[in-house]
Structure 1
Amino acid sequence: MRKMTDDNLRAAFAGESQAHMRYLIFAEKAEDEGFPNVARLFRAIAYAEQVHATNHFKTLGDLGASSKNLEAAIGGESFEVEEMYPAYSAVAQLQEEKGAQRSIRYALEAEKIHAAMYQKAKQAVDSGKDAEIGQIYICGVCGYTGEGEPPERCPICGAPRDKFKLFN
């Protein structure tokens, strides 16, 4: 693919991906405010944005076999842990942005776990096996991720157990 088209599709993928998430967040807010039909509209269009992003991603040729995809995920999580979030945290601290510091710390701590989980999965896939993964739980406040039974309180943000979402 020629450079300008590649650049355009990558920008479109980023934009569609952000729109997808933005609309899901808007849907939660509309639901909280008692507008279920507006929430449904946001969710439906978020799905359309996901379709667009998926089409762009596949056209770019970035979708590989599971081992390659896990390697890419490990690389992304490692970059966030080792470079991106430490740099962002330093700026937020320098500028005394407490909310940003908290959000960045939550993400940084969760990304460390994600990288390790992906690494474990990649080892299994590379040996021709599916990863042995139990129930996964995610803290809905900070994104802390674990396997098995969720703790009484989140070790990152202190949220109670009922804030965890389970993935069986």
Structure 2
Amino acid sequence: MSKQLKGTKTAENLMKAFAGECQARTRYTYYASVAKKEGFLQIADIFIETAENEKEHAKVFMKQLLKYGMDGEVVVINNAGYPVAYADTLKNLQYAADGEKEEWSDLYQGFAKTAEEEGFADIAAVFKNVAKVEEKHEARYRKLHKNVQEHTVFKKNGKVYWKCNNCGHVLESLEAPPKCPVCDHGREHFEVWVENY
């Protein structure tokens, strides 16, 4: 690359984004443990899935730094803050949704604007594309938060199909059974069954 990234605000923003994605990944793995202990296995799986997405976002930002010859360099981060947020599943979903919203609606939009102003249109596009993913993460966390808050994780207003993720048994009901009639695993192993293929 002919353009120099070192010493730019864009380099600092890439490192802020990298650090932010890394800490979000770690928090989401913590949140998954809490959700699992509280009997929300599907939510735990979603936290883990999202943590893996965040790992890949961090990698994308690191690759941008490497693409511009920054291997072995130190990038100083100024004026960055990261949340101390760890509670029960309901609060953790709120924390996660709020963090995702800040990323897509504020941070990455601003980082993209700075990258464009500094002549890094390719990096601006990366920030914009990752922001689109974070917007979907926020929406999913808000839906899950609503389900936990309204006690509708395992009970719905109308009949739905419930699938036991242990043995695959599917049944139609307003709510997941206390135990699977096939394998005896508890309610926490059920989720709404959706075929999207």
Answer with 1 or 2: which has the greater Rg. 2
Q: Shorter-chain TM-score category?
A: 0.3 to 0.5
TM-score (norm 1): 0.43
| TM-score w.r.t. length of structure 2 | 0.37
- Higher helix content, 1 or 2: 1
